[in-house]
């Protein structure tokens, strides 16, 4: 039997272990934390065994997630599987400080009128018509561009530039240019047109696909609804899941990895090794010897990260919000949230302390560099207490304008991602060369990988070229090229497939391509020929499509 050591028990590592164990490999998973799940794990908010659970951020499963859903459908949980713990959302509230906000339906429409209503919020009723035309033309450009043009041309320009955001209306920038930042780790000013455009299209197609729920979330904290049953299932397959087992380094000779050295001095030897640690930790494992064997490993540290962390507010009363996400359009810290209690039907909230908690509002802050409204400082210059106060103030400013009564009396407790750690930096804003410079008061020990222009070349494949080493994390090159559970799961499958191929194991883990309407395939084939000849995207096709978009825009 072939032995495999998986370093890291997040989504990528657990996926690789799952696929390999099903194919007869003897797998050991080494996880540094006291819980499996990586950034997806939930954590007790105190030492009380019955404490409520906090999260790095709420879980979000859009329709184009195929790999992670397939895995969930293969994890037993009671009489069903953990996929049964996914609950479809119904609407997204776009909250503003200046009025009641707007509600966008997320349920799959079942009538023609429903389809029209579903499309309307995407283009915004008050969006200038010329901006609607322009956006449709940009999306059609993407849909008719061949893969080579997307990877080699569109990966080299930002989404912000591609949609000409600087020369569009403020409404366009507020409502459309930053749409993806609200729910996924993509920043329009720095992310590539290839990746953000692709994900934007996938989110739109998910809204229009009658066979798939547009988006789903879990009906309980992540570990209870998914990760803990997953670990139990892996153990039933013979996987040795070891928590509190931090790895210090990979040992290697001039041809391959020879062992995993743990922080306590123990060495774990195996035939195959899977490195499944996050992007901020991976470079520390890349020794000069490994980099010589696989130069692509040396480019991992060129990938960028950003702060996108969560906080949970525990309330004495439930908040009356649409069953889905809330996007805070005017929030300087780019906030999104979910009222979790309304979805946690599989979680006995009363059995967990504090006793008077009835509602849970889970919030993610995606902008840690813009000054807030309460302390007028960016989040990274605040203490943990100030971060909680500031986010709470921004929530109240939006939700109370939307008609909700969010008061300080409702707040029982809060739990900020423990990866945000105070570093003892100065709270004072200093002056340097006449400019204000604010010291970071906190550090982020769990930043998130973000897509940037040209970053595709720095993303290594799962099978990196070392004869017994594979990679399984969301920085691996995958179809979605996105820091997400879906990318990590796909990377884990690719790592498992590489190992299976090397050892002649039966079967391979399935990999799904991102789906786009087949009607555009002839245009892509035409563009592929033109691209190979060094010609631009076909102007004749673009011109003919422009007439279609104008007619569509006239009816929008």
* Architecture (CATH level 2) of domain 306-444: 2-Layer Sandwich (3.30)
pLDDT above 50 for 553: no
Residue recorded with tokens 């391959």: 256
Residue 284 confidence (pLDDT) above 80 = yes
103 vs 54: which has the higher pLDDT:
54
pLDDT in tens, 243-271: 999 999 999 999 999 999 999 999 999 99
Residues 482, 488, 489, 492, CA torsion sign: positive
For residues 544 and 297, which has the higher predicted lDDT (pLDDT)? Answer: 297
Alpha-carbon distance of 177 to 260, in angstroms, equals 45
Domain 3-88+222-304+456-503 has CATH 3.40.930.10: no
* Among 13-27, 54-68, 72-86, 117-131, the least confident range: 117-131
Give me the DSSP letters along 123-136. Answer: H-TTS-HHHHHHHH
Whole-number pLDDT of residue 311:
95
- The whole-angstrom separation of Cα 462 and Cα 502 is 13
- Split at pLDDT 50, 70, 90, the class of 49 is confident
Give the pLDDT of residue 318: 85
Query: How far apart, in whole angstroms, are the C-alpha atoms of residue 257 and residue 246?
Result: 18
The full DSSP string for 416-480 is E-TTEEE-----SEEEETTEEEE--SEEESS-EEE--TTGGGG---SS-S-TTEEE-STTS--SS
**Above 90 in pLDDT, residue 211?**
no
Residue 348 pLDDT class (50, 70, 90 cuts): confident
Is the confidence at residue 539, as pLDDT, over 70? no
pLDDT number for residue 177: 56
Residues of the chain with CATH 3.50.50.60: 3-88+222-304+456-503
Q: Which residue has the higher pLDDT, 343 or 404?
A: 343
Confidence of residue 555 (pLDDT cuts 50, 70, 90): very low
* Range with the poorest average pLDDT among 45-59, 82-96, 236-250: 45-59
pLDDT tens digits, 356-395: 888 899 999 989 999 999 999 999 999 999 999 999 999 9
> CB–CB of 480/490 below 8 Å?
yes
Pick from 245-259, 340-354, 388-402, 485-499: least confident: 340-354
pLDDT at 320: 84
Provide mean pLDDT across the span 164-193: 75
Confidence of residue 137 (pLDDT cuts 50, 70, 90): confident
User: According to the model, what pLDDT value does residue 258 have?
Assistant: 96
Is beta strand 76-77 parallel, antiparallel or unpaired with respect to 80-81? antiparallel
Residue 476: which pLDDT band, with cuts at 50, 70 and 90? very high
pLDDT of 36 higher than 70: yes
Residue 186: what are its φ and ψ, rounded to 5°?
Answer: -130, 125
Average pLDDT of 489-514?
A: 96
Summarised one tens digit per residue, pLDDT across range 423-444 is 875 444 443 444 444 578 999 9
Give 218-232 pLDDT, tens digit per residue. Answer: 999 999 999 999 999
Q: Which range (182-191, 238-247, 357-366) has the least confidence? A: 182-191
Q: Which residues pair with residue 442 across a beta bridge? A: 422
Mean per-residue pLDDT, 1-24: 96
Higher pLDDT, 529 or 136: 529
- Where does the pLDDT of residue 135 fall: very low under 50, low under 70, confident under 90, or very high at 90 and above? confident
Q: Taking all residues of the chain, what is their mean pLDDT, rounded to a whole number?
A: 87
Residues of the chain with CATH 3.30.9: 306-444
Can you give the pLDDT at residue 231? 98
């Amino acid at each position: 039997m072939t032995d495999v050591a998986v370093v890291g028990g997040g989504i990528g590592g657990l996926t690789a272990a799952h696929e390999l164990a099903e194919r007869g490999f003897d797998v050991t998973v080494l996880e540094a934390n006291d819980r499996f799940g990586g950034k997806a794990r939930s954590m007790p908010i105190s030492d009380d065994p019955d404490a409520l659970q906090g999260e790095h951020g709420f879980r979000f499963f859009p329709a184009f997630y195929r790999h992670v859903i397939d895995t969930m459908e293969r994890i037993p949980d009671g009489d069903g599987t953990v996929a049964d713990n996914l609950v479809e959302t119904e609407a997204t509230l776009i909250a503003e400080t200046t009025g009641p906000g707007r509600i966008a339906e997320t349920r799959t429409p079942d009538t023609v009128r429903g389809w029209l209503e579903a499309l309307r919020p995407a283009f915004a009723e008050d969006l200038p018509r010329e901006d609607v035309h322009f956006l449709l033309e940009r999306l059609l450009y993407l849909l008719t561009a061949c893969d080579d043009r997307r990877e080699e041309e569109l990966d080299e320009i930002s989404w912000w530039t591609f949609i000409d955001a600087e020369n569009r209306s403020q409404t366009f920038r507020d409502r459309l240019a930053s749409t993806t930042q609200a729910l996924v780790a993509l920043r329009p000013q720095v992310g590539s047109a290839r990746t953000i455009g692709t994900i934007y299209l996938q989110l739109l197609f998910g809204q229009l696909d009658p066979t798939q729920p547009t988006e789903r979330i879990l009906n309980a904290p992540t570990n209870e609804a998914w990760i803990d049953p997953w670990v139990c299932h892996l153990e039933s397959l013979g996987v040795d899941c070891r928590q509190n087992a931090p790895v210090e380094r990979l040992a290697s000779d001039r041809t391959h990895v020879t062992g995993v050295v743990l922080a306590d001095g123990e060495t774990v030897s195996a035939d195959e090794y899977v490195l499944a640690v996050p992007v901020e930790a991976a470079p520390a494992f890349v020794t000069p010897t490994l980099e010589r064997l696989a130069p692509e490993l040396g480019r991992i540290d060129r990938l960028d990260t950003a702060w996108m962390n969560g906080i949970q507010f525990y309330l004495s009363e439930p908040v009356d919000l649409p069953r889905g996400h809330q996007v805070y359009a005017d929030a300087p810290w780019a906030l999104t949230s979910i009222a979790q209690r309304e979805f946690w039907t599989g979680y006995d909230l009363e059995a967990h302390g504090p006793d008077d908690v009835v509602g849970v509002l889970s919030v993610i802050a995606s902008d840690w560099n813009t000054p807030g409204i309460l302390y007028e400082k960016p989040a990274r210059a605040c203490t943990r207490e100030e971060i909680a106060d500031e986010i709470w103030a921004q929530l109240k400013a939006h939700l109370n304008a939307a008609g909700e009564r969010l008061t300080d009396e409702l707040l029982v407790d809060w739990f900020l991602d423990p990866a945000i750690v105070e570093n003892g930096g100065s709270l004072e804003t200093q002056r340097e060369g006449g400019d204000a410079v604010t010291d970071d008061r906190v550090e982020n020990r769990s930043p998130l990988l973000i897509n940037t222009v040209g970053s595709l070349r720095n993303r290594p494949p799962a099978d990196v070229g070392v004869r017994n080493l594979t990679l399984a994390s969301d920085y691996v090159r995958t179809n979605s090229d996105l820091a997400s559970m879906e990318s990590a799961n796909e990377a884990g499958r690719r790592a498992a497939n590489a190992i299976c191929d090397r050892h002649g194991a039966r079967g391979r883990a399935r990999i799904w391509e991102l789906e786009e309407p087949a009607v555009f395939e002839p245009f892509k084939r035409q563009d592929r020929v033109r691209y190979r000849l060094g010609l631009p995207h076909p102007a004749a096709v673009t011109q003919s499509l422009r007439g279609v978009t104008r007619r569509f825009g006239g009816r929008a």
